[in-house]
């Protein structure tokens, strides 16, 4: 195997030859049931085809408009359907967002993500978000937003503003989806992804595990993602953060090994995609996070919060990375692509 000296950019790697979009459910379920050592070896091998195994991308996520969302997503403290004590806020001022982005860059972030608790943005709200995107982009950071459902015109406006990534998760399998959300359909989510992709924006799309789903549902989520016409450039895998007052506030804990398996299978199915170890890291041991990185996770969020939930302290991440020999991934403009990535 050729030694890897630098990571490819996700945008170029996602279109690399040799990626499959015709996975069968029985194949995916068989991966989940592999002996753990064999699964991790396969995932690490797939990961090294496209990435330096010791580089991890640092992103920061800011809630630019918190709470008051009319959706009933069973995991979300920002839903107006649940009484979690969270107070709704208005959309942040552009200047305040840019100040936060500046601090994130100084802390080592290479991508800046902005999230608003909307079912879908209104045009006057989108005007303000576009100003934020342009301002963050001018700092040399990659830009990402998550604003709910988008139509084709809205997606194109964001593309014209220079947006790099749009996040819109599928959350779970098509079969389990109605157990978690009733206010928008699975097809609504797929339609937004299609509008984003058609506009030429990179896709950030993953899901949440630990919501009471079974192995078949975790397989169904990853199968849906891997069989999209193009793999998402970023695939966040979230571990449910249980919030009192939400539908899933008392859900049983997921076996940590099952979570690591989900990371590994995602990497095998979508080896050229960033697999982000996302929500829930605050409750993971160092050993669990290390296994996730070994399984192919190569992106995390840094900073004190993920929208409304806690995130590990920066110093804790720094110590863990030192122990593991992990380096912050360079921004795409600074990283040299590796030749023959798909060999």
292 carries an active-site annotation: no
Return the DSSP state at 185.
-
Question: Which of the following is catalytic: 49, 144, 157, 281?
Answer: 144
73 carries an active-site annotation: yes
DSSP string, 92-151: PPHHHHHHHHHHHHHTT-SEEEEEE--SS--HHHHHHHHHHHHHHHHTT-EEEEE-S---
76 carries an active-site annotation: yes
CA distance 341 to 272: 9
Q: Which residue has the tokens 């997606």?
A: 155
205 carries an active-site annotation: no
Q: How many CA atoms lie within 13 Å of 301's alpha carbon, on the beta-carbon side? A: 26
Question: Which of the following is catalytic: 69, 157, 189, 197?
Answer: 69
333 carries an active-site annotation: no
Question: Which of the following is catalytic: 76, 184, 281, 338?
Answer: 76
Question: Which of the following is catalytic: 111, 157, 197, 276?
Answer: 276
Question: Which of the following is catalytic: 48, 111, 134, 204?
Answer: 204
Angle in degrees, CA 14, 288, 10, rounded to 5: 10
204 carries an active-site annotation: yes
Give Cα separations from 122 to 136, 143, 150, 163, 203 (angstroms).
21, 20, 10, 18, 21
Question: Which of the following is catalytic: 49, 111, 113, 292?
Answer: 113
φ, ψ for residue 308 (rounded to 5)?
-125, -5
Positions marked catalytic: 69, 73, 76, 113, 144, 204, 276
């Amino acid at each position: 195997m050729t030694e890897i000296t630098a990571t490819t950019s996700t945008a170029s790697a996602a279109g690399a030859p040799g990626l499959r979009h015709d996975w069968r459910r029985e194949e995916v379920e068989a991966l989940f049931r592999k002996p753990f050592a064999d699964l991790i070896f396969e995932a690490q091998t797939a990961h090294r085809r496209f990435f330096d195994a010791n580089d991890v991308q640092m992103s920061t996520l800011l809630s630019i408009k918190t709470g008051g969302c009319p959706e009933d997503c069973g995991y979300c403290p920002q839903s107006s359907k649940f009484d979690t004590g969270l107070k709704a806020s208005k959309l942040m001022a552009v200047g305040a967002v840019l100040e936060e982005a500046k601090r994130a860059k100084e802390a080592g972030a290479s991508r800046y993500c902005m999230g608003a608790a909307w079912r879908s943005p209104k045009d006057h709200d989108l005007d303000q978000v576009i100003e934020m995107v342009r301002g963050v982009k001018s700092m040399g950071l990659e830009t990402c937003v998550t604003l709910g459902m988008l139509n084709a015109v809205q997606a194109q406006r964001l593309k014209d503003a220079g947006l790099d990534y749009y996040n819109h998760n599928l959350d779970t399998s098509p079969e389990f989806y109605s157990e978690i959300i009733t206010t928008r359909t699975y097809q609504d989510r797929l339609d937004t992804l299609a509008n984003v992709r058609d506009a030429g924006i990179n896709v950030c799309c993953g899901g949440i595990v630990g919501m009471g789903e079974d192995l078949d549902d975790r397989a169904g989520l990853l199968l849906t993602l891997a069989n999209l016409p193009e793999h998402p450039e970023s695939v966040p895998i979230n571990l449910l953060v249980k919030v009192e007052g939400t539908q899933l506030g008392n859900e049983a804990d997921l076996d940590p090994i099952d979570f690591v398996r989900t990371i590994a299978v995602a990497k095998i199915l979508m080896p050229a995609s960033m697999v982000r170890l996302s929500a829930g890291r605050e409750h993971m041991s160092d050993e669990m996070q290390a296994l996730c990185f070994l399984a192919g996770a190569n992106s995390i969020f840094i900073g004190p919060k993920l929208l409304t939930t806690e995130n590990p302290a920066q110093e804790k991440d720094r110590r863990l990375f030192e122990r593991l020999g992990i380096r912050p991934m360079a921004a795409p403009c600074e990283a040299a692509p590796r030749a023959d990535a798909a060999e």
